Copies of this chain bind each other. A is one copy, B any other.
Amino acid sequence: MSESRILNAALRGKVVSADEAAAFIKPGDNVGVSGFTGSGHPKEVPQALARLITAASERGETFRVGILTGASTAPELDGELSKVNGVSLRMPFQSDPDCRNRINAGDAWYTDVHLSQSAQNVAWGHYGKLNVALIEVTAILEDGRLVPSSSVGNNPTWLELADKVILEVNASMPAQFEGMHDIYTVALPPHRKPIPLVKSDDRIGEPYLRVDPNKVVAVVETNCLDRDNPFKAPDEDSRKIAGHILEFLQHEVKKGRIPADLLPLQSGVGNIANAVMAGLIDGPFNNLTAYTEVLQDGMLDMLRSGKLVHASSTAVSLSRKAFDDLVANIDEYRKHIILRPQEISNHPEIARRLGVIAMNGILEADIYGNINSTHVLGSKMMNGIGGSGDFARSAYLSIFMTPSLAKGGALSCIVPMVSHVDHTEHDVQVLVTEHGLADLRGLAPRQRAKLIIENCADPKFRPALTDYITRAGKTANGQQTPHLLGEAFDWHLRALRGESM
């Protein structure tokens, strides 16, 4: 069965084992791998590479590589390579526990960049030469074109830039993925043209990846599903957050600012995002569309319900149950899903043109509306900024969502000053917690602070926040954004000592 996935004779002649393929990767190489949010990453060659690294280590040799991906991958890639300390450089997003530990131990350099910019950054040589592309595909056509897998990510760029290409052809991916993708690539300046996409369901490219067959050094046949991307039913806080957002969107429609079928939705990953999707299924809006970077269970549910008529994404990242549904009904789903390169799915030009409604989770917000998406207590990397900046800066609505409390109530997610800034006051329009929603549009910093404290902070932390801003207002050196720099991080310092904020 798997043989039928490699119709090109020349490439069929390059089929080797994962171990033989991994041997093409050399110490110090930069490897551009497929993968976005635990989907479409190579499954076997990374593990073979980890074995090579272990063997080198046992010989007393250093064998480390740079790993450039689309976004997060899964244990068999980021996990295995991090366990053997084989990653010298990682970009642009990760969420694997072992990978995160290496980054925070100082063992791996991690550059946390906007996902839409990652391809061009590599093309411009920010990371040096791209030596190898290691890409999972669903099939290889007779003419050598490639049917992409469950994510597109940066694959077109990696295939174009790399000296050597290794393909994993994954027979577990449904052959009917063919036709679901839309591959369009962007030139570098001064040769760029307008991207001709004006609706989320516009097709502007072709459904295949292209590769110079002479660069392909190895083809590996695999048969392994993507990880079972966890999906939890929305908890109480998430349902409340979703409720506030739905109410707000109804208000926006009523005001005549957006059409009754809204504008294309962008939704980050996780529990709250899924709760919003669940809320939309039961909500008053119809004929919805999505222009987003990852299609998760919640959005598949929306497609099935008929409320969502189209989703543009760069990846499908599903639980096993949802994936089975996708495969079982793929001829129907394929009419409603387009997977694009992340340079297009996340392109600010398109986000601003379409006027997306961007909804992303965060770690903490401050009273003036600055957002920390990435760093725990200022220094420790959680995952990365991902696509949130691509969307939020250019969206019609940039909505950031968080429960008001963390660590069982010990920590407030609303603080006097965030310990790291990923989204500045200039880019944050709406903040939502389970307590309520703060519409910050058009407001000056002190006006925002009042709303955020009253509507979003947990009641038990409101008096301390109000006290901070009141005293800052009396003593700070200016009233635009009153701060007490001597105690702005006292809340975080208490948390670092293991105390309640």
Contacts and interface: CB of A to CB of B under 8 A. Distances in A.
A485 B110 CA distance: 21
A85 to B, nearest CB: 14
B127 A442 contact: yes
B189 A396 contact: yes
Given A480-B381, A485-B419, A485-B489, A353 B193 contact: yes
Contacts of A105: 479
B479 A106 contact: yes
Interface stretch (A146-154, A206-214, A370-378): A370-378
Nearest to A480: B381
Interface string A112-133: 1110000001001111100000
Interface string A467-496: 000001100111111110110110011001
A23 interface: no
Chain A's interface size range is 35 or more
Contacts of A423: 424
Given A377-B485, A444-B111, A493-B486, A394 B476 contact: no
A355 B189 contact: yes
A269 to B, nearest CB: 19
A426 B112 contact: yes
B349 A352 contact: yes
A263 interface: yes
Given A91-B442, A380-B478, 20 more contacts: A103-B478, A110-B444, A125-B257, A190-B354, A192-B355, A193-B353, A194-B194, A194-B196, A348-B394, A378-B481, A378-B483, A379-B472, A379-B481, A380-B480, A419-B485, A485-B492, A485-B493, A485-B496, A486-B489, A488-B489
